[in-house]
Amino acid sequence: MSSLARARSVALAVAWRGIHNAFTNPAFLLPSVMFPLFFFMAFAGGLSGIQNAPNFEFKSGYSSFQFAFVCVQAAAFGGVFTGFAIAADFEFGFARRLLLAAPNRGGIVIGYMISAMVRAAFVIGVVFLAGLISGMRIDGSIGDLLALLVMALGVSAVATLWATGIAMRLRTMQAAPLMQMPIFILLFLAPVYVPIELIVGWVHDVAQFNPATAFLEAARGFVSGEPDKVGVAAACVVGLGALAALWARGGLRSAERAG
Amino acid sequence: MSALASSAMPAQVGLLAGRAVRHIIRQPAQVVFPIVFPLVLLAVNSSGLDAATKLPGFPTTDYLDFALAVPFMQGALFAALNGGQDLARDIEGGFLDRLALTPMSGPALIAGQLGGALFMGVVSALIYLTVGLLIGSGIAAGFGGALVLLALAVTISFAFACLGTFVALRAGSGQAVQGFFPLFFVLLFLSSAFFPRNLIEQDWFREVATYNPVSYLVEGIRSLVITGWDGQALAQAFGIAALMIAAFLALSAWALRTRLVRT
């Protein structure tokens, strides 16, 4: 069996286990669905009045504006929740047995990443349906929506690699805040409620250089049928993905050394 | 004879409250996160939602003034969560069972436990107010208003701590208390915490916010920052907090009796 085939078989086995656990245990599934759904409801419902502010321009309406944010958020948090699962696997001893048994350990990380992406796609699908039922307007084509999904899956992969690096280094659930807080802060230092032009103060300065801004602006472009900043978003996914892969690889090495 | 056995109720409360406070201080995560997180959100929201102040009918020209009430509520929610978790840990670890073998009275146990939450409520309210003033917010009701604001914030924090105590006593597990955490946040997000009720466009959301008691707690604090002295807003906020305290203290006492019978 070639190295690639071994990695593939490990990745598929780990992915299947992750997907099975995520979809058969309501305690795992509900938070990852309810949180984005709730944010969508709370932001699109409670803050929609802000679209009447001067210079707020987004033709598809505030629900669509927030849907784009929730897509990116669901994708990123799909990765974070997978990091929690990895930490729990270490606490229960399963991850150590997995490290011993797997003929290709890189496949373990890829497997976790696949399960996070499936989870994110499911959550985005649920939020999309909820949005459509509540009257959300989508001006983007099927191609735009597929591009949005691909970008979200890329974000999910980056977040999973980030969380994997932490989970494999610290190997405890107590590391959960370390996995989620940086991502939470990164997301909220981006144009969450209004377009970037309407943000004031230091958050505006930070948002200009925040990769999450590129993800949000590209996502909103896809939703409104006027793709924007797609190249920047793609470059951010690739660049951050490469850095996060190195980070996850270091985590894997650390877990291997710990035995 | 142990200190517990010979002591009267105030001393028992003092012993347990001291333990709860020490427990909080020794866990930096319990102090830093509940204080820093609401302040980060305050900074983010006051920049991100400042455009809302341009809307006709928005009650202030600076969103920071509008948003300053939110950290106090978030701090109260964290107090409920942390206090509840500490108590649940005591239940899971058997500390409560051992206490049941001593002359410690039930009310003293609850009051002592709440002492830790009250301590966190006071500390975090002072920090939120100080930071708010330092970054440019003002208190329309003046110095006296700031004192009333602190009193209201601590009362609200105590009310939510009573809720956390009840959940912990009823469920007896830290995981169950954690499970309630999202529910607390749902209450906050489905209120008028981030947008004035009269400007909420969606009817269903405005309706939910109107029936959500958290809206009135937030509006009570906000009235002191933006309006000045608003008797109705303050009466509603203090009234709801007092009702919560009475209800959840009674429920906690009942849950404690049930739990001690079980053990």
Q: What is the pLDDT of residues B53-79, one digit of tens each?
A: 999 999 999 999 999 999 999 888 887
What are the CA-CA distances from residue A217 to residues A55, B96, B154 (Å)?
16, 53, 41
pLDDT band at B175 (very low <50, low <70, confident <90, very high): low
More confident site: A86 or B25: A86
CB atoms A46 and B189 under 8 Å: yes
Higher pLDDT, B32 or B150: B150
Mean pLDDT of A59-88: 91
- Residue A125, pLDDT > 60, answer yes
Cβ–Cβ gap A199/B50 under 8 Å: yes
pLDDT of residue B92: 81
Reported as half-sphere exposure (CB side, CA atoms, 13 A), residue B12 has a value of: 18
On average, the pLDDT of chain B sits at 86
To the nearest whole Å, the CA of B216 is away from the closest chain A CA by 16
| Res B235 pLDDT > 80 | yes
Q: Which of A203, A205, A213, A216 to mutate to test the interface with B (most CBs of B within 10 A)?
A: A203
Query: How is B151-211 classified by DSSP, letter by letter?
Result: HHHHHHHHHHHHHHHHHHHHH--HHHHHHHHHHHHHHHHTTTTSS-GGG---HHHHHHHHH
Among residues B16, B246, B247, which one has the least CA distance to residue B110? Answer: B16
> Sorting pLDDT into bands at 50, 70 and 90, what band is B82?
confident
Cα(A23)–Cα(A165) distance, rounded to whole angstroms? 24
Question: Lowest mean pLDDT: which of A83-97, A146-160, B57-71?
Answer: A83-97
Q: Is pLDDT above 80 for A6?
A: yes
Q: Which residue among A39, A44, A203 sits closest to B48, beta carbon to beta carbon?
A: A203
Judge contact between A152 and A74, C-beta under 8 A: yes
Position A88 scores a pLDDT of 87
How close B107 comes to chain A (CA, Å)?
A: 33
At residue B3, the pLDDT reads 52
pLDDT band for position A24 (cuts 50, 70, 90): confident
Asked whether B15 and B7 are in contact (CB, 8 A), the reply is yes
pLDDT band for position A177 (50/70/90)?
confident
The answer to whether residues A170 and A78 touch, using CB atoms and an 8 Å cutoff, is: no
For residue A173, the distance in angstroms to the closest alpha carbon of chain B comes to 13
Residues 194-253 of B with CB under 8 A from A: 194-195, 199-202, 204-205, 209
From B103's Cα to the closest Cα of chain A, the distance in A is 36
Q: Is the pLDDT of residue A238 over 90?
A: yes
Cβ-based contacts of A39 with chain B (< 8 Å): 189
What tokens appear for B138 in the block?
């003002």
> How far apart are the C-alpha atoms of B215 and A235, rounded to whole Å?
43
Of residues B188 and B27, the one with the higher pLDDT is: B188
Token digits of residue A108: 């373990």
pLDDT value at B262 more than 80: no
Task: Identify the pLDDT of residue A234.
Answer: 96
What average pLDDT does range A76-105 have in this prediction? 88
pLDDT at residue B113, rounded to an integer: 79
Q: What is the pLDDT of residue A172?
A: 84
Of A44, A50, A177, the CB nearest to B51: A50
Mean pLDDT over each residue of chain A, to the nearest integer? 91
Confidence label for B1 from pLDDT (cuts 50, 70 and 90) = very low
Does A173 reach chain B within 8 Å, measured CB to CB? no
pLDDT of residue A216 exceeding 90? yes
Residue with tokens 């245990």: A25
Of A236-240, B176-180, B183-187, which gets the smallest average pLDDT? B176-180
d(CA A201, CA A187) in angstroms, rounded, equals: 17
Percent of the residues in chain B that have a pLDDT greater than 90, as a whole number: 46
Q: What is the pTM of this model?
A: 0.83
Q: B31 and chain A: CB distance < 8 Å anywhere?
A: no
In the structure, what pLDDT confidence band is assigned to residue B7 with cuts at 50, 70 and 90? Answer: low
Question: For the packed helices B28-48 and B69-92, what is the interaxial angle rounded to 10 degrees?
Answer: 150
pLDDT at residue A1 in the model: 66
Over 50: is that where the pLDDT of B247 sits?
yes
What local confidence, expressed as pLDDT, does residue B261 receive? 67
| pLDDT of B5 higher than 70 | no
Per-residue pLDDT of B35-55, as tens digits, reads 888 898 898 889 989 999 999
**Cα A13 to chain centroid, rounded:** 22
For the stretch B193-219, pLDDT in tens is: 999 999 998 899 999 999 999 999 999
Residue B173: how many CB atoms within 10 A of its CB? 15
The Cα B157–Cα B151 span in angstroms is: 10
Per-range mean pLDDT, top range of A164-178, B11-25, B94-108: A164-178
List CB contacts of B44: < 8 A, sequence separation 6 or more. A188, A189, A192, A203
Q: Is the pLDDT of residue A218 over 70?
A: yes
Q: Is the pLDDT higher at A34 or at B141?
A: B141
